[in-house]
Structure 1
Amino acid sequence: MAADWLGSLVSINCGPTLGVYQGEVSSVDQSSQTISLKQPFHNGVKCSVPEVTFSAMDIKELKILDITIGNVRNGSSVCAKSSSGPIAVPRDDPRTKERLNSPQHCSKSYGERHQDVPGQPKQGFRLRHNSWSSSSRGVNPVTPKKNGVKNGAPMKHRDDECFGDGMDDGMEDFDFEGNLALFDKAAVFSEIDTSERRTNGARSRGTPQEQTPTRYRHDENVLEVKPIVYRQITVPQPGDKEFCTDSGLIVPTISYDFRKRLLSVAERHGLSLERRLEMTGVCASQMALTLLGGPNRLTPKNVHQRPTVALLCGPHVQGAQGISCGRHLANHEVEVILFLPKFVKMLESVTSELNVFSKTGAKLVSNIKDLPDSPVDLIIDCLDCHESTFLMDQPWYKAAANWANQNRAPVLCIDPPVSRQQVVEAKWSLSLCLPLPLAEGAGRVYLCDIGVPCKVFQEVGVKYHSPFGCKFVIPLHSA
Structure 2
Amino acid sequence: MSADWLGSLVSINCGATLGVYQGEVTSVDQASQTISLRQPFHNGIKCPVPEVTFSAMDIKELKILEIPNGVCRNSSSQGVPTDPCPASSGFSGRSTGAAGCGGPSSSAPMAVPRKASAVGRAVSQATPKKNGVKNGGGGPMKVKDDECFGDGMDPGLDTDFDFEGNLALFDKAAVFSQIDTSERRGNGARSRGTPGERTPSRYRHDENILEAEPIVYRQITVPQQGGKEYCTDSGLVVPSIPYELHKRLLSVAERHGLTLERRLEMTGVCASQMALTLLGGPNRLTPKNVHQRPAVALLCGPHVQGAQGISCGRHLANHEVEVILFLPNFVKMLESLTNELTLFGKTGGKQVSSIKDLPETPVDLVINCLDCHENAFLRDQPWYRAAADWANQNRAPVLSIDPPVSGQEQAVEAKWSLSLGLPLPLAESAGRVYLCDIGVPRQVFQEVGVSYHSPFGCKFVIPLHSA
With the shorter chain as reference, the TM-score category is: 0.5 to 0.7
1:465 to 453, 458, 461: 453
- RMSD of the TM alignment (CA)? 3.6
Structure 1 residue 212 corresponds to structure 2 residue 190: no
Give a deviation string over 1:222-269, Cα, whole Å, max 9, x none.
333322211111111123321111222111111111101111111111
The residue that corresponds to 2:375 in the other structure is: 388
Flag structure 1 segments of 5+ consecutive residues without an equivalent.
1-56, 64-99, 108-123, 131-155, 163-205
Distance of aligned partners of 1:102 and 1:307 in 2 relative to their CA distance in 1, 3 Å threshold: farther
The residue that corresponds to 1:322 in the other structure is: 309
1:441 to 413, 429, 438: 429
Instruction: Tell me, in whole angstroms, the C-alpha distance in 1 between the residues paired with 2:111 and 2:233.
Output: 95
1:279 to 266, 270, 276: 266
Of 235-244 and 366-375, deviating more is 235-244
Instruction: Tell me, in whole angstroms, the C-alpha distance in 1 between the residues paired with 2:331 and 2:200.
Output: 76
1:292-311 map, 5 Å? 292-311=279-298
Instruction: Tell me, in whole angstroms, the C-alpha distance in 1 between the residues paired with 2:201 and 2:330.
Output: 69
Structure 1 residue 237 corresponds to structure 2 residue 224: yes
Give a deviation string over 1:349-387, Cα, whole Å, max 9, x none.
222222222222211101000001111111100011111
Instruction: Tell me, in whole angstroms, the C-alpha distance in 2 between the residues paired with 1:60 and 1:231.
Output: 99
1:382-421 map, 5 Å? 382-418=369-405, 419-421=407-409
Measure how far apart 1:476 and its partner are.
1.1
The residue that corresponds to 1:256 in the other structure is: 243
1:339 to 316, 326, 329: 326
Instruction: Tell me, in whole angstroms, the C-alpha distance in 2 between the residues paired with 1:396 and 1:60.
Output: 120
Instruction: Tell me, in whole angstroms, the C-alpha distance in 2 between the residues paired with 1:408 and 1:376.
Output: 8
Flag structure 2 segments of 5+ consecutive residues without an equivalent.
1-67, 75-105, 114-129, 137-153, 161-192
1:360-371 map, 5 Å? 360-371=347-358
The residue that corresponds to 1:144 in the other structure is: none
Instruction: Tell me, in whole angstroms, the C-alpha distance in 1 between the residues paired with 2:311 and 2:217.
Output: 34
Measure how far apart 1:453 and its partner are.
0.6
Measure how far apart 1:101 and its partner are.
5.7
Measure how far apart 1:302 and its partner are.
2.1
Give a deviation string over 1:10-32, Cα, whole Å, max 9, x none.
xxxxxxxxxxxxxxxxxxxxxxx
Instruction: Tell me, in whole angstroms, the C-alpha distance in 2 between the residues paired with 1:398 and 1:351.
Output: 23
The residue that corresponds to 1:477 in the other structure is: 465
Measure how far apart 1:473 and its partner are.
0.8
Measure how far apart 1:221 and its partner are.
2.5
Measure how far apart 1:217 and its partner are.
2.0
The residue that corresponds to 1:159 in the other structure is: 157
Measure how far apart 1:300 and its partner are.
2.5
Distance of aligned partners of 1:289 and 1:101 in 2 relative to their CA distance in 1, 3 Å threshold: same
Give a deviation string over 1:422-477, Cα, whole Å, max 9, x none.
22111111000001111111111110011111000011111101111121111111
Distance of aligned partners of 1:230 and 1:128 in 2 relative to their CA distance in 1, 3 Å threshold: same
1:73-112 map, 5 Å? none
Measure how far apart 1:333 and its partner are.
1.5
Of 236-245 and 310-319, deviating more is 236-245
1:44-193 map, 5 Å? 61=72, 129=135, 158-159=156-157
SS in 2 for 1:240: coil
The residue that corresponds to 1:111 in the other structure is: none
**Amino acid across the alignment from 1:443:** G
SS in 1 for 2:346: helix
Give a deviation string over 1:376-423, Cα, whole Å, max 9, x none.
111100011111222222211111111111111111100111122222
Structure 1 residue 349 corresponds to structure 2 residue 347: no
Measure how far apart 1:62 and its partner are.
8.8
Distance of aligned partners of 1:62 and 1:239 in 2 relative to their CA distance in 1, 3 Å threshold: farther
Instruction: Tell me, in whole angstroms, the C-alpha distance in 1 between the residues paired with 2:159 and 2:428.
Output: 85
Give the structure-1-normalised TM-score: 0.59
Of 283-292 and 339-348, deviating more is 339-348
Instruction: Tell me, in whole angstroms, the C-alpha distance in 2 between the residues paired with 1:103 and 1:402.
Output: 126
| Identity within the alignment, % | 76
The residue that corresponds to 2:345 in the other structure is: 358
Distance of aligned partners of 1:159 and 1:416 in 2 relative to their CA distance in 1, 3 Å threshold: same
Distance of aligned partners of 1:307 and 1:58 in 2 relative to their CA distance in 1, 3 Å threshold: farther
Instruction: Tell me, in whole angstroms, the C-alpha distance in 2 between the residues paired with 1:411 and 1:128.
Output: 86
The residue that corresponds to 2:175 in the other structure is: none
Distance of aligned partners of 1:297 and 1:159 in 2 relative to their CA distance in 1, 3 Å threshold: same
Instruction: Tell me, in whole angstroms, the C-alpha distance in 1 between the residues paired with 2:195 and 2:422.
Output: 52
Instruction: Tell me, in whole angstroms, the C-alpha distance in 2 between the residues paired with 1:252 and 1:219.
Output: 28
Distance of aligned partners of 1:345 and 1:208 in 2 relative to their CA distance in 1, 3 Å threshold: same
SS in 1 for 2:324: strand
Instruction: Tell me, in whole angstroms, the C-alpha distance in 2 between the residues paired with 1:267 and 1:217.
Output: 47
The residue that corresponds to 2:34 in the other structure is: none
Distance of aligned partners of 1:327 and 1:442 in 2 relative to their CA distance in 1, 3 Å threshold: same
Measure how far apart 1:280 and its partner are.
0.7
**Amino acid across the alignment from 1:159:** L
Q: Is the 8 A contact 1:292 1:378 kept in 2?
A: yes
Distance of aligned partners of 1:104 and 1:237 in 2 relative to their CA distance in 1, 3 Å threshold: farther
**Amino acid across the alignment from 1:307:** P
Instruction: Tell me, in whole angstroms, the C-alpha distance in 2 between the residues paired with 1:256 and 1:433.
Output: 12
Instruction: Tell me, in whole angstroms, the C-alpha distance in 2 between the residues paired with 1:301 and 1:455.
Output: 47
Give the structure-2-normalised TM-score: 0.60
The residue that corresponds to 2:90 in the other structure is: none
Structure 1 residue 428 corresponds to structure 2 residue 416: yes
Instruction: Tell me, in whole angstroms, the C-alpha distance in 1 between the residues paired with 2:73 and 2:196.
Output: 69
Structure 1 residue 313 corresponds to structure 2 residue 311: no
